[in-house]
Amino acid sequence: MRLTILGSGTNVHPTRAAAGYLVQTDQTFLLDFGPRTLMNLLKTGTDRHRIRHILFSHFHADHFSDFITFFFDQVFYSRFVGKRPDLTLIGPRGTRRLFGVILKTFPGFNAAAFRVSIREVSDRSFWLGQTRITPHTVVHSPRLHCVGYRIEHGGKVLVYSGDTQYCESLVRLCRRADVAALDCSFPANRPGPGHMHAGDCGRVAREAGVRRLILSHFYPVAERYNVKKQAGQQFRGRIIRGRDLMKVTV
């Protein structure tokens, strides 16, 4: 299994794209699709016309807004250039409503020459081919359902936290993961609401027995401190400070 970080930053970050990840197993799919991640997807050389599944953690704009640009391109492509397979959008409560409105309202979006399915998930596993996916509700924002994803393929486990504060459900989701990419919005000495700081990420990795911890989803303030060292005060395993276009073999 391979993970490519398409975006390791937040909404408006001067040097990083917002949240987005490319996962390659027997399937090729995206986890979140935040601003500036589409450009990074192109840089990876991945054929975007073959992407059949996009999994969203929640609907803060830093996690999905490039979907709009992507879909506009796919409508054009499917009508005038070539064939593409059906597309399935997967996400927490609110997915159907949000994409229902987007697909009905944005000019031309109802003219795609491929089928779009929308699927809401909560805490039940499902399969994409030979890849097992377990979404798990995490604690982020009181008005938004947010899920993290546990992805299992070929005996390996990858976890993506979505946006979350420290919570028991995240520790359960990360249990003995080979790689966990966690929301490290803030440095430990400058914490903020609804997200983890570097120390929280280390704590989750330690409590869950994670092998490799990837810190990601940085607010600009996190650039000013040594978040890797801060996480290392809680966790003795390998820690990676995520960056855009970084590839990780799980």
List residues binding Zn ion (CB under 5 A).
Answer: 60, 62, 163
Distance CA(58)–CA(89), nearest Å, equals 12
Question: Smallest gap, in angstroms, from Cβ of residue 144 to Zn ion?
Answer: 7
Cβ proximity to Zn ion, 62 vs 152, nearer residue: 62
Cβ proximity to Zn ion, 112 vs 149, nearer residue: 149
Cα distances from 36 to residues 18, 122, 239, 250, in angstroms, run 7, 27, 25, 25
> Is 149 within 8 Å of 143 (Cβ atoms)?
no
DSSP code for 44: T
Question: Smallest gap, in angstroms, from Cβ of residue 67 to Zn ion?
Answer: 15
Question: Smallest gap, in angstroms, from Cβ of residue 171 to Zn ion?
Answer: 19
Cβ proximity to Zn ion, 27 vs 141, nearer residue: 141
Give the residues across from 181 on adjacent strands: 160, 214
DSSP code for 35: T
Cβ proximity to Zn ion, 1 vs 170, nearer residue: 170
Question: Smallest gap, in angstroms, from Cβ of residue 11 to Zn ion?
Answer: 7
Q: What is the 3-state secondary structure (H, E, C) of 118-187?
A: EEECCCCCEEECCEEEEEEEEEEECCEEEEEEEEEECCEEEEECCCCCCCHHHHHHCCCCCEEEEECCEC
Question: Smallest gap, in angstroms, from Cβ of residue 196 to Zn ion?
Answer: 11
Question: Smallest gap, in angstroms, from Cβ of residue 47 to Zn ion?
Answer: 27
Distance CA(91)–CA(193), nearest Å, equals 23
Cβ proximity to Zn ion, 1 vs 187, nearer residue: 187
For 82, residues 6+ apart whose C-beta sits below 8 A from its C-beta are: 49
Question: Smallest gap, in angstroms, from Cβ of residue 216 to Zn ion?
Answer: 10
Cβ proximity to Zn ion, 138 vs 248, nearer residue: 138
Bridge pairing between strands 212-216 and 126-128: unpaired
129: left (phi over 0), alpha (psi -120 to 50) or beta: left
Distance CA(113)–CA(133), nearest Å, equals 28
Cβ proximity to Zn ion, 45 vs 142, nearer residue: 142
